[in-house]
Amino acid sequence: MAKEKKQGFFAKLGSIFAYRPPEHDTFVLPELGDEESLRAAPEEIEKAAGLKNYMDQDDLMKAAAEKEKDENKNENKGKAKDGDEIEKEIKGQTRAGLLRRVRSRKEPGEEKQKADVDEKNVPDQTSKEETGIFPDINFSRELIKKELNVPASVDVVVRDFKLNGKVDAFVVFIDGMADRDAINNFILRQLMNRSLYDKYDGGSMCEYVKENVLSVHQIADLKDYDEAVSQVLFGVTVLFIDGAGKCLAIDTRGFEKRNIDKPGMEAVVKGSQEAFTENLKTSMIQIRRIIKSKDLVNEFLTIGGMDKSGASIMYIRGITSPSLVKEVKRRLKSIKADFVMGDGMIEQFIEDDPWKILPQVLNTERPDRVASHLMQGRVAILAEGAPLALVVPATLSILLHSPEDMHLRWQFGTFLRIIRVFAMLVATLLPAVYISLVNYHQEMIPTELLVFIASSRDAVPFPSIVELLLMEVSFELIREAGIRVPGIIGTTLGIIGALILGQAAVAANIVSPILIIIVAVTALGNFAIPSYPLAFAVRVDRFFFIALAASLGFFGMSVGLVMLGAMMCSLQSFGVPFLAPAWPRTQDSGDLIIRKPLWKREKRPDELNALNKIKQPRISRGWVKGEPPPGEKE
């Protein structure tokens, strides 16, 4: 123990003497150093970001830099300062100064430190110098406090105590993010229980504590302050021990979370009735519970700069194309925004073409749907704080599928898919067709119907396009208001509002009755689209087609159709064409519009380039053809 303390002292001295200012004196946040914009001088960053509190520290930083220059001079003179002076210096420095000091301590002074070690023949010294954790606990405490803004941040707890009544230690955690019971009963009580140190033979205290004292299921060694801080922010408790060149991350994550509930957007009659929650861990477990395969890989990443949002990538090793996984990771890791919250924001950062209106990522709140796509060779991205998972690559066909299709017999599944395609066409084109017919192509309407439409429009003072836009905009308003108005009133407002408004508008001769039917059927078509982002795109496209139809009838609509077709054909999701497997044509996996019987779906989608393209053997129903399994002969 004494040796460890001694090493800490030498390492500290070494780092102070070894300090060399970086080439560009920049206030750089961890992990963001390569971004061109962040290479600007600290003042520019702070001014651009309007961070006044950072500006206040400017003078302190300059002072720290001057002190560091003095230290370099002292190094030349060969004078060493005592521990008290160093502590005072630490307290007076900024976070940046402290971090710089830790990072640079190995560079020029490394040889000197090694020489000191050789001279004094202190064993096990070099291994500690390789780590990024400073062995002096006072230094670590000050650094952590500065990093986590203690005492300004009242929820960050830094608890000091002694191990075995002798060795200084402290734990740091965020109150509310970490489980109090676990900390009180299985960490602090254990650590301060002297009887547990009876077998301690003077070796590494850190290792002893990990192996003999703490009774917590998951402990990891951390060798970097940045990592320690980010773990604390995720709800982990971090234990620092004086003289140790590492710290321990103890999993105590336990914050309030919502229970698993029924899916709100993707309800089904047959099939699973559970949805994701905002808790990343729960969501991951929900998927693991469905796919009990050793090949299901779950990789964790932190995204963004300041908020360090957590995200998980899930895929199946041996099925998913490695290049797809690599591309997903590349895109996620490249996100350099200070705040990336949930699936919606991640989606916007990783999609192929943000200028196109159609979704390029599948959002789903259903673990069973994610599991089924993982088994096909896609990659799922789960984000902290989001009750939806992202599945990539997404094609139009999977956006039109519902998880229920698989639970129904193939004839019904196919029927539902055809209905959905029809619904999408109706939702996009019906109002535009109406406008074209009444404005340009009246000859096509049968005489009886034409007379009815004309008589119903007789008292309406507006042209049909104004009439249609009034109703469409009113409907959009009702829809938006229905979502915003809380609870049951919202639902009621949606239905009653539409009925009353429609009835009143007809009675007031503002719109014709046939238009109410057109708008209602259009809305039904829109609701029948299983993907919310796709339904949204259709809502917007509808207005585009209305404008074209009002300009040039069916010819205008044809122009719009070609433009929409070209846009869809040029769209890609993680390199996979949006209209695959139809355009370009790839091998049929039996899952486009006609849902083949389950026993005939032998292959995974060709466009995904799965490593294992075969999903099941040609004869998947062993009882129909071929030899029965051994021991089961009739």
Partner 1 sequence: MLREGKIGVYEAICIVLMAITAKMFFTSPRELAEVVGPALWLEQLVAVFTALVGFLLVFQLMKRFPGQDLVSVFETVFGKILGGLVSIILAAAILFSSVLFTREFSEAVKAYAYPSTPPSMIIIFFLVPVLIMIYLGFETLARTVSSFIWFYVIGIISIFILAVPLYKYYNLFPLLDGGIGHIAKVGLKRCSVYGDILFLAVFINSLQGIDHFKKGALRSLLFSGAFIIASAFFFSQTFPKAVFVELTIPMFSITRAIEFGTFFHRFDSIYIFLWSISAILAAGVNLYVFTSIYCQVFRIKDQKPLVLPMGVIIFSLGLLLPSLTAIVDFLKFFRNSGWIFYFGIPILTLLVAAVRGMKGVKTGA
Closer residue to partner 1, CB minimum distance, 194 or 441: 441
Alpha helix stretches (DSSP H) within 188-275: 189-191, 205-208, 225-233
Which one, 26 or 551, has the nearer CB to partner 1? 551
* Nearest one of 308, 309, 348, 315 to 329, comparing CA atoms: 315
The CB-of-569 to partner 1 minimum distance in angstroms stands at 4
Q: How far is the CB of 571 from partner 1 (least distance, A)?
A: 9
Give the shortest CB-352-to-partner 1 separation in angstroms: 14
Cβ proximity to partner 1, 172 vs 557, nearer residue: 557
Q: How far is the CB of 440 from partner 1 (least distance, A)?
A: 7
- The DSSP-derived string for 443-466 is GGS-HHHHHHHHHHTTT--S-HHH
Nearest distance from residue 253's CB to partner 1, in Å? 47
Residue with Cβ nearer partner 1 (63 or 582): 582
Containing H/E element for 559? helix 532-570
Tell me the closest approach of the beta carbon of residue 396 to partner 1, in angstroms.
11
Looking at the Cβ atoms of 290 and 568, the one nearer to partner 1 is 568
In contact, 257 and 282? CB cutoff 8 Å? yes
309 forms bridges with which residues in the sheet?
A: 303
Neighbours of 65 (CB within 10 A): 17
If the CB atoms of residues 97 and 560 are measured against partner 1, the closer one turns out to be 560
Nearer to partner 1, 496 or 566 (CB): 566
Specify the DSSP element, H or E, that contains 126.
helix 125-129
Q: How far apart are the C-alpha atoms of 59 and 171, rounded to whole Å?
A: 31
Contact in structure between 535 and 526 (CB atoms under 8 Å): yes
Residues that bind partner 1 (CB under 8 A): 440-441, 443-444, 446-447, 551-559, 561-563, 565-570, 577, 579, 582-585
Strand order in the sheet with 219-222: 156-163, 167-174, 237-241, 247-250, 219-222
Q: Are 357 and 321 in contact (CB under 8 A)?
A: no
Closest distance of CB 369 from partner 1, Å = 27
> C-beta of 439: minimal distance to partner 1 in Å?
11
Supply the minimum distance, in Å, between the C-beta of residue 413 and partner 1: 23
Nearer to partner 1, 37 or 558 (CB): 558
Which uninterrupted H or E stretch holds 73?
helix 58-77
Say if residues 232 and 174 touch (Cβ distance below 8 Å): yes
Min dist CB 391 to partner 1, Å, is 23
Q: Which residue has tokens 């925004």?
A: 337
Shorter beta-carbon distance to partner 1: residue 389 or 437 = 437
Q: Which residues contact 542 (CB under 8 A, 6 or more apart)?
A: 427, 428, 429, 431, 432, 472, 522
Minimal distance, residue 333 CB to partner 1, in Å: 28
Nearer Cβ to partner 1 (444/540): 444
Comparing CB distances to partner 1, the nearer of 310 and 553 is 553
Beta-carbon neighbour count of residue 247 at 10 Å? Answer: 30
How many residues are present in the chain? 634
DSSP type of residue 138: H
- For partner 1, give the closer residue by CB, 102 or 579: 579
Own/partner pairs, 225-232, CB within 8 angstroms, 24+ separation: 225/99, 225/102, 225/132, 225/133, 225/140, 225/143, 225/144, 225/147, 226/30, 226/31, 228/133, 228/144, 228/172, 229/144, 229/147, 229/148, 230/302, 230/308, 232/148, 232/156, 232/172, 232/173, 232/174
CB of 545 to partner 1, least distance (A): 13
How many DSSP H helices and E strands does the chain contain? 25, 12
b/e for 505-514, b at 16 or more Cβ within 10 A? bbeeebbbeb
Give the containing element (helix H, strand E) for 315.
Answer: strand 309-316
